[in-house]
Amino acid sequence: MTRVFFLYDVLRLDEKMLLERLRSLAEVEPIHVSSSILEIGGYAEADIALQRSISFYRAMSSTVAVESWGVRVINNSMALALAEDKAWSLSVLYRNKIPVPRTLLAYSIDSAVEASRKLGYPVVMKPLMGSWGRLAALASDEEAVRAIAEHREMLGSMYRVHYVQEYVDKPGRDIRAMCIGDEVPAAIYRVSEHWITNTARGGRAEPAKIDPILEDLVIRSCRALGVEVGGVDVVEDPERGYLVLEVNAVPEYKNIARVTGVDVAAHIARYVVEQARR
């Protein structure tokens, strides 16, 4: 029987559902990363591994450890690293002809202000790495940009790279679509009056229509970053159509499953086991 390592730290509903579905298809060995000692170059046998750690550094480090054992991990270390860095992933998406919002990088407070003038207000400022809308800010004028940039620069080196992005006039919602291999089995609109629509920040989930253009964009975005199981965030620009914001490499999906009725965990489990058999 196929043997799967299940790498995790916090056992959320997403992980419980995945474990249940995986256990119906394969022999699963859960590895609680927070309790583990993992040797680089150590040895352990499995056909494949699925990474579900909520902490990026635990996910990244445990993935590279398991890869050193000769076990393939979904998603692999390069995909995790790429997807985590907003500038790097946007660069790769752009080079793969995937439409993305106009984004400037600035390296001082003054140049952050100049960047925001180039884009026109309001602008969105985000840290290079971060999730759940954390530390994302909408700056409506120069004073706001300057204040945000000044505060960021007090936080450390990573925050001295100012990621300044155009604000997309989206229709009160954005889209989160799941890509699993070459399929997009489900997507939701995250509806909110607030510009941050993450459900973690109060956005309301509704089933989304997956048209062929969206489906193609989601699959190509994941493929570009090497993400095999991903959550893709897309916004709808009134003139340009779909723009991809980012790809999440350890995606939550319980809201998608709840509102669409699609058994996302089963799709993921099937994909992982199929990949192990290749």
Report the candidate in 77, 20, 29 with the shortest Cα–Cα distance to residue 249.
77
| 5, 15, 166, 264: residue in contact with other proteins (rule CB under 8 A) | 15
User: Count residues contacting other proteins (CB under 8 A)?
Assistant: 24
Strand order in the sheet with 173-180: 204-207, 183-191, 173-180, 229-237, 241-248
For residues 55-84, which are near other proteins according to CB under 8 A?
55-57
Residue among 9 and 174 whose Cβ is closer to other proteins: 9
Q: Judged by CB under 8 A, does residue 99 bind other proteins?
A: no
| DSSP string for residues in 161-200 | SEEEEEPP--SSEEEEEEEETTEEEEEEEEE-SSS---GG
In the complex, what is the shortest distance from the CB of residue 207 to other proteins, in angstroms, rounded to a whole number?
20
Specify whether the CB–CB gap between 33 and 52 falls below 8 A. no
Residue among 34 and 140 whose Cβ is closer to other proteins: 34
71 contacts: CB under 8 Å, gap ≥ 6: 5, 44, 45, 46, 47, 48, 49
For residues 238-257, which are near other proteins according to CB under 8 A?
248-252
- Can you tell me the distance from the alpha carbon of 234 to that of 242, in angstroms, rounded to the nearest whole number? 6
Residue range at the interface with other proteins (CB under 8 A); choices 54-62, 186-194, 203-211, 265-273? 54-62
Q: Is the omega angle on the peptide bond into residue 122 within 30 degrees of 0, that is, cis?
A: yes
In the complex, what is the shortest distance from the CB of residue 20 to other proteins, in angstroms, rounded to a whole number?
11
x-or-dash string of contact with other proteins, 188-227, rule CB under 8 A: ----------------------------------------
Binding site for other proteins (CB under 8 A): 8-11, 15, 30, 32, 34-35, 54-57, 129-132, 134, 231, 248-252
